[in-house]
Amino acid sequence: MSRSTARSALVLALLAGSLAACADEGTPAATAPTTSAAASSAPATTTRAPEEATPEPTAAEPATNGTTVLTSPLDGAVVTGPTVTIAGEATAFEGNLSWVVYPADGSFEEPAQQGSTMTGANGEVGPFETTVDLETGSWTIAVFEASAMDGEPLNLVSATIDVK
């Protein structure tokens, strides 16, 4: 189970528990008192019980795959360039984590930029951070551990962003 799925399940369980507690207390829905037209020159008013609230839109969550988590930038972010920070946490062979940047409508196999940064090793998760300079436009940033056997991406995570 991913961290975001586990977090969502926990939030839903807590919310369900809170709603059940309210129902057990038998708390009636709040209504505003009405006033008599004879007692006041103001017209009589009533209020309805509040309707079910529309949930607030949630921010994008970090991209996660196995032990690799990309916390910056988040998918869908609009970033002021040219410098963009790539950060998160991971573990990789010899602590060497690879990254590639390619146009959002392009291909992982044809990166505009690529490199590596240091992170945790030997199963120990550690932080990573590096920066890239990008022109205005839509870009996909991918971070992964390159397989020691054949260089294939392991635990690849990515985010597509707009640089302004």
CA distance 73 to 143: 11
- Using the predicted structure, report yes or no on whether residue 4 has a pLDDT greater than 60: no
- Residue found by looking up tokens 């609230």 in the block: 53
The pLDDT of residue 148 is 87
The pLDDT of residue 138 is 97
63-163 domain in CATH 2.60.40.650? yes
Whole-number percent of the chain with pLDDT over 90? 54
The pLDDT of residue 161 is 96
The pLDDT of residue 69 is 95
**Sign of the dihedral defined by the CA atoms of residues 22, 23, 27, 33, in that order:** positive
**Sign of the dihedral defined by the CA atoms of residues 20, 26, 30, 31, in that order:** positive
Q: Which amino acid is at 8?
A: S
Provide the pLDDT confidence category of residue 22 given band limits of 50, 70 and 90.
very low
What mean pLDDT, rounded, does the chain reach?
75
The pLDDT of residue 128 is 97
Question: What pLDDT, in 10s, does the model give residues 71-92?
Answer: 999 999 999 989 999 999 999 9
What is the DSSP secondary-structure string of 54-97? PPPPPPPPPEEETTEEEEESPTT-EE-SSEEEEEEEEB-GGGEE
- Dihedrals φ, ψ of 5, to 5°? -70, -45
Predicted model pTM: 0.63
- Using the predicted structure, report yes or no on whether residue 21 has a pLDDT greater than 90: no
Provide the pLDDT confidence category of residue 9 given band limits of 50, 70 and 90.
very low
Domain boundaries along the sequence of the chain: 63-163
Nearest of 136, 39, 130, 34 to residue 88 by alpha carbon: 130
